[in-house]
């Protein structure tokens, strides 16, 4: 494995880690709201969250490129914040977060829905405030959902291609992630280097999913 | 002094709760009514679990709700213990961690209730280190009641705590509730479907109908109110608070005194001075306008007729509400007898009580 591949692998792991952390932070309140709200527009929000499941990643990447680009509607805000999101690591994070959102939100939503409202009401009448209830009742009871969300968010971010290519391009050390490096090798008919990367991802994904199913939490995967 | 007073209004679809409420500082107040009358909703409003509720609620010094000033104390800040029909024990904690969950979160008031007392009165010693998953229905309820009591609440709310329990489980839970409330002197609102259970436990009673509290007062009075289903029921009975005067071991009978007279009853060998609660069924009471002589009936009590009303399920019968001193009694007799004896409110007569049943 040469250093360019190592850089791509390191970048991919960093991206997956950052994206997973961001997803858990955003996904928790979003999943909580989806699990508990009875507002009429909840199905609309659910559909938006689930869109990445069915959209070709290039469609998502294309619109993100337009949205975040220099002449996009968010350009004034981004330049005021001094942020460049197109063809940068930051852009990859934004794109990946949106792309992997349902893989984190749905397991969490399912886990939250399985906690009976009565449990939380009992905790409230026993003197536990909102955050107290969250940390002492919700988190322990939703542990399986968090494990699933963590594995799925991380593994799905590792494997993405279309969104990354559209919004990040192919800049080594900045936006060239593992899947794109792999694509490069195949383009150049360098199958030996392609094998190293491809087999690595295959083995990692297989091990992660096996571990998840072994822990008995895999059933939640299919309930997206 | 009341443990809780106020009024609560809540509209939800076709249902409207509109309840004026006073809960006595001591003892059990049972909340009765048909299903859908709003009993559970009333408890939820008191606990603070229905934020849309309007009205005012004062618990001793503490104000819990004043919708006129847009004030509604959240449930975690109310010194109230709620045990709902499903015990809702926390599955990831064992029994002792469940019990201590609330005690660790007491804010700004003394922990009056000690774990030892709760464990002893509710008989939880053998359960402490068990997982909540393996508990029986009765055990789950007892743990839930103990968990609520350990928050040292000003008021305990129990929503049908023995519903769906079998005989022994039911008995264990009821005994535990009585022992714990006695030991801790915590007032309790107790929702019950069961007339017998309500009569056994209640010092005070409320009757709810369509979201309103239509009757409330001392258990003896409410049970004798002919407008309420208790008195209308075929097995209607008056409840009498009595004190043992003496036990005649040769007769296996006790002489009891109540406010309004004396009773002979086979209620075991309780010692003199023991307070008992006995029940006298309306159909076991016959009436006579002259003092009956030479009768096998042991208990003949002088009474005054308070009112005479119809019985919904039997056109032949009348329900005669009587007062013996401060104690209310009921007699279920035929209209024919009412006419022949020329019974009328205010009239004095003799009630012959054929049977006295011990309630606790």
DSSP B262-277: EEEE----PPTT-EEE
User: Which is more confidently placed, B140 or B13?
Assistant: B140
pLDDT (0 to 100) of residue A220: 55
Both tokens of residue A98?
């949106």
Q: Does B15 touch chain A (CB under 8 A)?
A: no
| Interchain CB contact of B91 with A (< 8 Å) | yes
B105/A137 CB distance under 8 A = no
The pLDDT score that the predictor gives to residue B318 is 95
Is residue A122 less than 8 Å (CB to CB) from chain B?
yes
**CA-nearest residue of chain A to B88?**
A119
Nearest chain B alpha carbon to A117? B88
Q: Round to whole Å and give the CA distance between B149 and A167.
A: 59
Using the beta-carbon criterion (under 8 Å), do B86 and A128 form an inter-chain contact? Answer: no
> Between chains, do B49 and A122 touch, taking CB under 8 Å as contact?
no
**Is pLDDT of B125 > 90?**
yes
C-alpha distances in angstroms, B50 versus A130, B43, B89?
Answer: 16, 10, 21
- Reported as a single tens digit per residue, the pLDDT across A156-213 is 998 888 888 888 888 888 888 888 888 889 989 889 889 988 998 899 889 988 888 8
- Architecture of the structural domain at A3-223: Orthogonal Bundle (1.10)
Work out the average pLDDT over A70-82.
81
Rounded to the nearest integer, the mean pLDDT of chain B is 91
pLDDT for the residue A31:
96
Q: Mind listing the pLDDT tens digit for each residue in B281-324?
A: 999 999 999 999 888 999 999 999 999 999 988 999 999 999 99
Q: What is the pLDDT of residue B168?
A: 84
Asked: is B2-223 a CATH 3.40.190.10 domain? The reply is no
* Nearest in space to A24 (alpha carbons), one of A150, A198, A200, A129: A150
The domain B232-358 is placed in CATH, from the list 3.90.1150.10, 2.40.50.100, 1.20.1440.230, 3.40.50.620, at 2.40.50.100
Q: Kindly tell me if the per-residue pLDDT of A218 is higher than 80.
A: no
In this prediction, residues A9-17 reach a mean pLDDT of 92
| CB burial of residue A165 (10 Å; 0-12, 13-18, 19+) | buried
- Chain B within 8 Å of A190 (Cβ-Cβ)? no
Using a CB-CB distance cutoff of 8 angstroms, which residues of chain A are in contact with residue B80? 125
Mean pLDDT within B245-263 = 93
Per-residue pLDDT reduced to its tens digit, A142-162: 998 999 999 999 989 988 888
Interface test with B, best of A116, A120, A125, A135 (most B CBs within 10 A): A125
User: What are the residue ranges spanned by the domains of chain B?
Assistant: 2-223, 232-358
pLDDT number for residue A166? 84
Closest partner CB to B105 (pick from A119, A122, A128): A128
In chain A, what are the domain boundaries? Answer: 3-223
Interface confidence, given as ipTM, is 0.84
State how far residue A136 is from chain B, nearest Cα, in angstroms. Answer: 10
Query: What per-residue confidence (pLDDT) applies to B269?
Result: 86
Judge whether residue A217 has pLDDT over 70. no
Q: What pLDDT score was predicted for residue B305?
A: 96
User: Which residues 139-168 of A have a C-beta within 8 angstroms of B?
Assistant: 140-141
Distance CA(B320)–CA(A177), nearest Å, equals 90
pLDDT per position as a tens digit, A125-136: 999 999 999 999
Confidence of residue A219 (pLDDT cuts 50, 70, 90): low
Distance from CA of B233 to the nearest CA of A (A): 34
**Mean pLDDT of the region A31-42:** 93
B60-117: pLDDT as tens digits: 889 999 999 999 999 999 999 999 989 999 999 999 999 999 999 987 777 888 899 9
Q: Which of B88, B91, B102 sits opposite A118 (nearest CB)?
A: B88
Question: Could you tell me if B106 lies within 8 Å of chain A, comparing CB atoms?
Answer: yes
Q: Is B76 on the interface with A (CB under 8 A)?
A: yes
Would you call B109 an interface residue with chain A, using a CB distance cutoff of 8 Å? no
Examine the pLDDT at A224 and tell me if it is beyond 60: no
The pLDDT confidence band at residue A87, using thresholds 50, 70 and 90, is confident
Q: Chain A: give the shortest CA distance to residue B148, in Å.
A: 7
pLDDT at A221: 54
Question: How are beta strands B212-218 and B204-209 bridged, if at all?
Answer: antiparallel
The rounded percent of chain B whose pLDDT value lies above 70 is 99
Q: Does residue A222 have a pLDDT over 70?
A: no
- CB-based contact A124 B106, cutoff 8 Å: no
Distance from CA of B338 to the nearest CA of A (A): 53
pLDDT at B61: 87
Position B343 confidence tier, pLDDT thresholds 50, 70, 90: very high
Count residue pairs from A and B with Cβ separation < 8 A.
63
pTM (2 d.p.): 0.84
A86 band by pLDDT with thresholds 50, 70 and 90: confident
B153, two tokens: 């609440």
> HSE on the CB side for B18, CA within 13 Å?
6
Is residue B18 within a helix (H) or strand (E), and if so which, with residue range? strand B15-24
- Residue B287's H or E segment, with its range, is strand B285-288
* Residues above pLDDT 70, as percent of chain A: 96
Lookup: tokens for B187? 């007032």
Closest chain A residue to B89, measured at CA: A119
Minimum CA–CA partner of A139 in chain B: B92
């Amino acid at each position: 494995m040469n250093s360019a591949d190592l850089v791509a692998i390191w970048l991919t792991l960093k991206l997956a880690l950052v994206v997973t952390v961001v997803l858990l932070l955003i996904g928790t309140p979003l999943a909580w709201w989806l699990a508990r709200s009875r507002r009429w527009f909840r199905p609309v929000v659910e559909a938006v969250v689930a869109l990445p499941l069915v959209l070709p990643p290039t469609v998502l990447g294309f619109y993100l490129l337009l949205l975040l680009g220099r002449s996009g509607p968010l350009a004034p805000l981004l330049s005021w914040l001094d942020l460049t999101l197109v063809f940068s690591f930051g852009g990859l994070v934004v794109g990946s977060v949106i792309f992997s959102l349902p893989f984190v939100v749905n397991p969490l939503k399912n886990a939250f829905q399985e906690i009976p409202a009565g449990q939380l009401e009992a905790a409230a009448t026993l003197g536990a405030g909102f955050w107290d209830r969250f940390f002492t009742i919700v988190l322990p009871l939703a542990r399986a959902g968090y494990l699933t969300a963590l594995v799925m968010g991380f593994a799905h971010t590792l494997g993405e291609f279309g969104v990354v290519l559209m919004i990040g391009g192919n800049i080594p050390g900045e936006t060239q992630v593992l899947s794109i490096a792999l694509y490069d090798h195949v383009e150049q008919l360098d199958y030996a280097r392609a094998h190293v990367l491809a087999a690595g991802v295959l083995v990692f994904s297989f091990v992660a999913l096996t571990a998840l199913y072994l822990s008995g939490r895999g059933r939640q995967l299919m309930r997206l | 002094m009341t443990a809780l007073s106020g009024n609560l209004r809540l509209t939800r679809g076709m249902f409207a709760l509109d309840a004026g409420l006073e809960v006595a500082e001591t003892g059990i107040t049972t909340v009765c009514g048909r299903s859908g009358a709003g009993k559970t909703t009333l408890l939820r409003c008191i606990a603070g679990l229905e934020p849309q509720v309007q009205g005012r609620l004062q618990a001793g010094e503490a104000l819990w709700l004043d919708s006129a000033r847009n004030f509604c104390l959240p449930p975690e800040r109310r010194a109230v213990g709620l045990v709902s029909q499903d015990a809702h024990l926390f599955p990831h904690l064992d029994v002792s961690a469940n019990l201590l969950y609330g005690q660790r979160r007491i804010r700004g008031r003394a922990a009056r209730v000690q774990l030892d007392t709760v464990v002893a009165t509710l008989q939880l010693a053998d359960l402490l280190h068990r997982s909540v998953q393996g508990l029986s229905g009765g055990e789950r309820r007892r743990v839930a009641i103990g968990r609520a009591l350990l928050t040292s609440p000003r008021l305990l709310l129990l929503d049908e705590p023995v519903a769906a329990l079998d005989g022994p489980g039911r008995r264990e839970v009821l005994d535990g509730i009585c022992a714990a409330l006695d030991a801790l002197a915590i007032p309790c609102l107790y929702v019950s479907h069961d007339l017998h259970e309500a009569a056994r436990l209640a010092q005070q009673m409320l009757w709810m109908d369509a979201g309103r509290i239509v009757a409330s007062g001392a258990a003896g009075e409410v049970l004798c109110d002919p407008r309420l289903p208790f008195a209308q029921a075929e097995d209607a009975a008056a409840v009498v608070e009595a004190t043992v005067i003496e036990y005649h071991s040769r007769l296996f009978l006790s002489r009891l005194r109540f406010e309004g007279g004396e009773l002979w009853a086979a209620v075991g060998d309780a010692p003199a001075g023991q307070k008992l609660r006995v029940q006298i069924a309306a159909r076991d009471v016959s009436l006579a306008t002259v003092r009956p002589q030479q009768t096998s009936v042991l208990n003949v009590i002088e009474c005054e007729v308070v009112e005479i009303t119809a019985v919904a399920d039997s056109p032949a019968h009348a329900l005669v509400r009587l007062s013996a001193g401060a104690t209310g009694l009921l007699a279920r007799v035929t209209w024919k007898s009412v006419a022949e004896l020329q019974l009328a409110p205010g009239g004095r007569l003799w009630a012959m009580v054929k049977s006295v049943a011990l309630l606790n």
